[in-house]
Amino acid sequence: MLFLAEAAHAAEHAPPGWVTAVFGALLVCMIVALALEEKLHAKKSVITGVAALVTLLVAQALGVLPGGPPTLGGHELHLPIYVAAIDWEVIAIILGASLFVDVTSKSGIFTWIAVKLTKLSRGDPRRLLWFYGALTVVFSAFLNNVTAMIIVGSLTAVSLNRLQLQDKLLGFLFVEGLMTNVGGLLTLISSVPNIIVGNAAGISFGKFFLVASPYVLLATLASIFLGEKLFRIKPLRDDAARREAAAQVAAFDENDGIRSRGFFNFAAAAFVVFILALALQSQLPLVGGEHGLGMGFVALAFAAIMLLRYKHEVHTFYSAVDWDLLAFFSSLFVVIYVMEHAAVLSTMGQALAWLLDRGENLGIGLLLWAAAGLSSVTDNIPLAAMLAKILPKGRELTADSMEWWAVIFGANLGGNLTPIGSASTVVAVTIMAKQGVPLSFLRFVRLALPFAVLQLVLATGYVLLVKVLFG
Amino acid sequence: MQLDQFESRFKRAAKALFAYAPIPFTKVLLVSDQEGADADAELARAKAFLGPLGAAEGVSWTVVTGESYHTSHELVARVSQEQPDLLIAQRSLKESDKDPIYSLGTYLDVLTQVAPVPVLVLPQGGLPSDLSQVMVVTDHMTGDSRLINYGVALLGAGGKLFLTHVEDEGTFERYMSVIAKLPSLDTETARRDIRAQLLKEPLEFMQSVDAALREHGVSHLEVEPIVRLGRSVRDYRELVEAHQVDVLVFNTKDSMQLAMHGMAYSLAVELKRVPLLLL
């Protein structure tokens, strides 16, 4: 909220070049530290938290920050700058959605769906790959990428071990890891870059789904097909093997994790209503529109409704919330706020302008590939947050501008280039190691390259096609 | 942590199910320490006790009399030569002491470990009047369908098959006492969940037996699962007496040759009055 109100201030009081250079260096340090998160043995929230503290202190010392209290609707707010700088709508969506999904998963509905699909495959490896690949996309779209990878990946390990297909584990887990980032493109709440960029662009949930879904379908089919060929996953040939495999998966009991049939049905219905509420949020009274309570309220309200089921043990769900992620976002918003006032973002915007000035179509294509390249080596969340701020500078962008989509596609798909490109691919590699099929960084890149190139080429063509057809 | 939770949920959902496979008895070998008419009478008693199997057509019965072997090597060689599907012998075979303490007898000790076929050990003295109640001890491995299939093969119409699993309470309490000293694990949750899971797995396996038998048209017998936490040998002795069991079926051979060094040996030597089918 503070960014828009103070954009004019930032433009009027541009700091000297050396100040911008100092803050630019601090930003680079933070990004490098995030890329080396594992080496530093430090959580993301600690890295961005330290960065927020340092940048705030330096900014205060150099007089970069605007003076006076922040205002809302003409009224002064008694909020410190490091609180007001946070985009609380994004935090509310993430907190509400993760609590809602966590409580819903206690009903056993997600494991029920996953086991049911396993049984439908009758244990045939090729059918199983297609089912698990599609399931990963759907779960990534409506849960989050990490949870989707954990559910489908752990089921993959159990079912392939049971079917004695351990030699196929690498191929399955690899394809699933990559499909999380494809599924993460399907809806506005599927991934954090979507929430950040979608919010900045003013793209509604419904519109996001309509634009993204054809690409997600195409990329899913192409990627699983490629995985089937590259990892040589073939159907069972003889009747005896088919019978044996069918018997093995038939022994899975999809109802085992269901403690209460009533809560299971309630959770299934609540999940459908939750998705519908998000899709129709902009049209809903009180929550939709410019002054409505917003999508974050919808997410928190549904989380509260689900928590009523466990009203005596809500603390277990609170402790399961990813506080590292929330603290990471909060700190990141503070850092970006400071960078905005230190003119770092406008300087980066000039570089971006150079990219976009290469031509209307070429510029968008370059932006998509640049976003993908950057998100493959560093966290795609700060990248998306910064690009979402930089992109509108000096440009008249609307919710229909394809530049937003270039950032969304690039930031999500870039995660498929390296094992550190996204949290869900990190989970995939962790499961592989746990199952005795470790994958080195270079081997991951070598295996991922054809998938990533295929998905990025398709994305570039798709974004430009949408631009031509509807632009 | 979340990864482990989901993996556990899916592992729990992957059940071990009973697979029915009829046991084809074509050749039965009775190892006796008697000669002539006495050996024939022993065979007749064994056939009468085994009911449907004893009267079945197409099953050849052979008697190895006491004179035809003098060492365990000779007996093992004879068994290998005959290649039967089932071996029958009396407890304390060729022993002067017919009621030894804590032993099956030299010959049977060897046969139960070396012979590659099931051994039906008959008690000294009388046999039950008929074979209508069989108890299978499924302790060694949940998912061992072979044990149960042998139990089914022994029973005729109206027979009752008890499937039993006694989880050793002493071992359970030992682990619980360790968990109670670990601050990272909630003792009450561990006690409740581990106990429930230990008993759930064998019970679910046993419950799948009835469905599988009916699926294959085997509906002539009744199946009763018994699952509890207790002291293995003591509880089995109680169960055998309480249910008037005619044959007790359990594993004595495994790839590590450890079965007869554990509970199985205690059961085999202590339950002297009950016929035992040792697999």
Candidates B2, B13, B16; nearest CB to A115: B13
Among chain B residues, CA nearest to A151: B6
Residues of A in contact with B7 (CB under 8 A): 154, 157-158
H-assigned helices in A121-235: 125-142, 145-162, 169-183, 192-201, 205-230
Q: By the CB < 8 Å criterion, does A325 face chain B?
A: no
Distance between CA atoms of residues A170 and A167, nearest Å: 7
Interface test mutation site (partner A, options B1, B7, B200, B204, max chain A beta carbons within 10 A): B7
Size of interface A-B (CB pairs under 8 A): 53
User: B158: how many CB neighbours lie within 10 A of its CB?
Assistant: 10
For residues B28 and B88, the answer to whether their CB atoms sit within 8 Å is yes
At position A256, the amino acid (one-letter code) is D
pLDDT for position A11: 47
Q: By the CB < 8 Å criterion, does A159 face chain B?
A: yes
Q: How far is A218 from chain B (nearest CA, A)?
A: 29
For residues A326 and A44, the answer to whether their CB atoms sit within 8 Å is no
Q: Token pair of A232, please?
A: 């040589």
Those of residues 249-268 in A touching chain B at CB distance below 8 A are 250-254, 256-257
Tokens 């006690």 belong to: B191
Among chain B residues, CA nearest to A149: B3
Segment among A133-137, B5-9, B202-206 with least mean pLDDT: B5-9
pLDDT for position A349: 72
Candidates A158, A252, A254; nearest CB to B7: A158
User: A117: how many CB neighbours lie within 10 A of its CB?
Assistant: 19
Among chain A residues, CA nearest to B18: A251
DSSP H or E stretch at residue B28: strand B27-31
Candidates B6, B17, B19; nearest CB to A154: B6
Residues of A in contact with B142 (CB under 8 A): none
DSSP H or E stretch at residue B159: strand B159-168
For residues B277 and B118, the answer to whether their CB atoms sit within 8 Å is yes
Distance between CA atoms of residues B229 and A169, nearest Å: 38
Residues of A in contact with B10 (CB under 8 A): 111, 114-115, 154-155, 158-159, 252
DSSP H or E stretch at residue A459: helix A441-470
Candidates B2, B13, B15; nearest CB to A257: B13
Q: Token pair of B100, please?
A: 């030894």
Question: DSSP letters along B96-123, please?
Answer: S-SS-SS---HHHHHHHHH-SS-EEEEP
For residues B102 and B269, the answer to whether their CB atoms sit within 8 Å is yes
DSSP H or E stretch at residue B160: strand B159-168
Candidates B3, B17, B19; nearest CB to A431: B3
Tell me the per-residue pLDDT of B145-170, one tens digit each, with 9 for 90 and over: 889 999 999 998 889 999 999 988 99
Interface test mutation site (partner A, options B4, B8, B9, max chain A beta carbons within 10 A): B9
User: A460: how many CB neighbours lie within 10 A of its CB?
Assistant: 21
**Alpha carbon separation from B123 to A281, B66, B90, B104, B269 (Å, rounded):** 79, 17, 6, 10, 11
pLDDT for position A281: 76
pLDDT level of residue B139 (50, 70, 90 thresholds): low
Distance between CA atoms of residues A363 and A453, nearest Å: 18
Residues of B in contact with A431 (CB under 8 A): 3
Bridge-based pairing of strands B221-230 and B247-250 is unpaired
Closest by alpha carbon to A344, among A106, A46, A14? A14
Mean pLDDT per 10-residue interval, chain A, length 471 residues:
46 76 90 80 88 94 80 78 84 86 86 90 94 94 85 91 90 94 91 88 89 96 96 91 90 87 91 85 78 86 90 83 84 87 79 78 89 79 81 78 91 85 83 86 90 95 88 65
Distance between CA atoms of residues B104 and B268, nearest Å: 7
- Which residues are registered as beta bridge partners of A165? none
Residues of B in contact with A252 (CB under 8 A): 10, 13-15
Evaluate if residue B258 carries a pLDDT over 60.
no
Residues of B in contact with A106 (CB under 8 A): none
pLDDT level of residue B237 (50, 70, 90 thresholds): confident
Evaluate if residue B119 carries a pLDDT over 80.
yes
Interface test mutation site (partner B, options A107, A115, A150, max chain B beta carbons within 10 A): A150
Q: By the CB < 8 Å criterion, does A157 face chain B?
A: yes
Candidates A111, A153, A250; nearest CB to B13: A111
H-assigned helices in A13-144: 17-35, 37-40, 44-62, 81-84, 88-105, 109-120, 125-142
Interface test mutation site (partner A, options B2, B5, B203, B204, max chain A beta carbons within 10 A): B2
More confident residue, A449 or B99: A449
Half-sphere exposure of A62 (CA within 13 A, CB side): 22
A304-314 burial, b at 16+ Cβ within 10 Å, e below that, comes to eebbebeeeee
Q: What is the 3-state secondary structure (H, E, C) of B211-275?
A: HHHHHCCCCCEEEEEEEEEECHHHHHHHHHHHCCCCEEEECCCCCCCCHHHCHHHHHHHHCCCCC
User: A418: how many CB neighbours lie within 10 A of its CB?
Assistant: 18
Distance between CA atoms of residues B250 and B267, nearest Å: 9
Interface test mutation site (partner B, options A116, A143, A158, max chain B beta carbons within 10 A): A158
Distance between CA atoms of residues A305 and A100, nearest Å: 9
Candidates A251, A427, A431; nearest CB to B15: A251
Candidates B9, B15, B17; nearest CB to A111: B9
Highest mean pLDDT among A428-442, B5-19, B56-70, B172-186: B172-186
Residues of B in contact with A254 (CB under 8 A): 13
Residues of B in contact with A173 (CB under 8 A): none
Q: Do B10 and A155 touch (CB under 8 A)?
A: yes
Residues of A in contact with B6 (CB under 8 A): 111, 150-151, 154-155
Residues of B in contact with A162 (CB under 8 A): 14
B206: alpha, beta or left? (left if phi > 0; alpha if psi -120 to 50): alpha
pLDDT for position A347: 79
Evaluate if residue B246 carries a pLDDT over 70.
yes
Residues of B in contact with A423 (CB under 8 A): none
